[in-house]
């Protein structure tokens, strides 16, 4: 049974169709990539799943429950978390407090501060930022701010994590580190749906890949199938 699925999901902005009748599903434990040219509708689809935008049409179900139209905090409480294309950290809060915010808001209720801090420190260790716990988020590199955002999302205890270009702007060493981190997330039982333009990484790590173009799904398959798709090559991958 899919952990999340969408049927004919659509979003219009006035006369602009940003997402058009997209069907998708992700099974428990999968890492699924979402690729396509800029403006293809990838982040819009994430916004629809996470409740940041309301669908124009279609249905989204998480673990069999219709979550279409729910608010972002309601979807987060159901154990769906996300990061953002443009990093969104609490700039004037410490790294630890950023992650604490996720721990105290997330799926658990009534967590004591002592336990929340211990959990937050474990997550900072997990993403490789335990030495930066007292630093202000705004003083970190973009790569480390992205790690803070991932740790904060993990602190809400997601079963499904949406990663929006978490590798963008990173050097090859940092990309390799994030790739390993995503694999460790899957080992912890977290299903991952990720938008990415770093093709080597997305091809190496994904079980399946979905391709959007002008808001429509034009292909879906294993990385090797997508790499050989003439349509995907023409609109996105090139020669």
Position 219 scores a pLDDT of 93
> CA angle, corner 29, sides to 105 and 126, nearest 5?
55
Outline where the chain has alpha helix (H).
Answer: 42-50, 72-77, 95-105, 113-127, 142-155, 172-187, 199-205, 223-228, 230-232
CA distance 78 to 74: 7
Position 85 scores a pLDDT of 83
CATH topology of domain 1-79+158-239: Rossmann fold (3.40.50)
In this prediction, the residues of the chain whose per-residue pLDDT falls under 50 are none
Query: Which tens digit of pLDDT belongs to each residue from 134-182?
Result: 999 999 988 899 999 999 999 999 999 999 988 887 888 888 888 999 9
Position 104 scores a pLDDT of 82
CA distance 157 to 154: 5
Contacts of 173 (CB under 8 A, 6+ apart): none
- The single-letter DSSP state of residue 139 is G
Q: Which two tokens stand for residue 196?
A: 């990415």
Reported pTM: 0.91
Position 79 scores a pLDDT of 94
End-to-end CA distance of the chain: 37
Please, where in the chain does CATH 3.40.50.300 lie? 1-79+158-239
Q: Which two tokens stand for residue 212?
A: 């959007």
Q: In what order do the strands lie in the sheet with 16-27?
A: 16-27, 2-13, 57-62, 65-66
- The single-letter DSSP state of residue 56 is S
Position 194 scores a pLDDT of 95
Q: Give phi and psi for 214, each to the nearest 5.
A: 50, 40
Position 143 scores a pLDDT of 86
Position 109 scores a pLDDT of 60
């Amino acid at each position: 049974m899919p952990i999340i699925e969408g049927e004919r999901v659509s979003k219009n902005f006035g006369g602009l169709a940003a997402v058009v009748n997209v069907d998708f599903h992700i099974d428990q434990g999968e890492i699924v990539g979402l690729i396509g040219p800029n403006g293809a509708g990838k982040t819009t689809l994430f916004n629809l799943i996470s409740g940041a935008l309301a669908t124009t049409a279609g249905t989204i179900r998480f673990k069999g429950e219709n979550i279409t139209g729910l608010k972002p905090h309601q979807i987060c409480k159901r154990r769906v978390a996300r990061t953002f294309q443009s990093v969104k950290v609490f700039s004037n809060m410490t790294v630890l407090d950023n992650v604490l915010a996720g721990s105290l808001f997330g799926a658990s209720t009534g967590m004591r501060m002592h336990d929340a801090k211990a959990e937050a420190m474990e997550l900072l260790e997990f993403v490789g930022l335990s030495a930066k716990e007292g630093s202000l988020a705004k003083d970190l590199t973009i790569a480390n701010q992205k790690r803070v955002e991932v740790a904060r999302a993990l602190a809400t205890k997601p079963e499904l994590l949406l990663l929006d270009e978490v590798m963008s702007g990173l050097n090859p060493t940092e990309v390799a580190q994030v790739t390993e981190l995503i694999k460790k997330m899957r080992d912890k039982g977290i299903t991952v749906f990720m938008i990415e333009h770093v093709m080597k990484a997305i091809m190496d790590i994904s079980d399946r890949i979905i391709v959007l173009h002008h808001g429509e799904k034009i292909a879906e398959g294993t990385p090797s199938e997508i790499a050989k798709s003439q349509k995907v090559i023409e609109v996105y991958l090139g020669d």
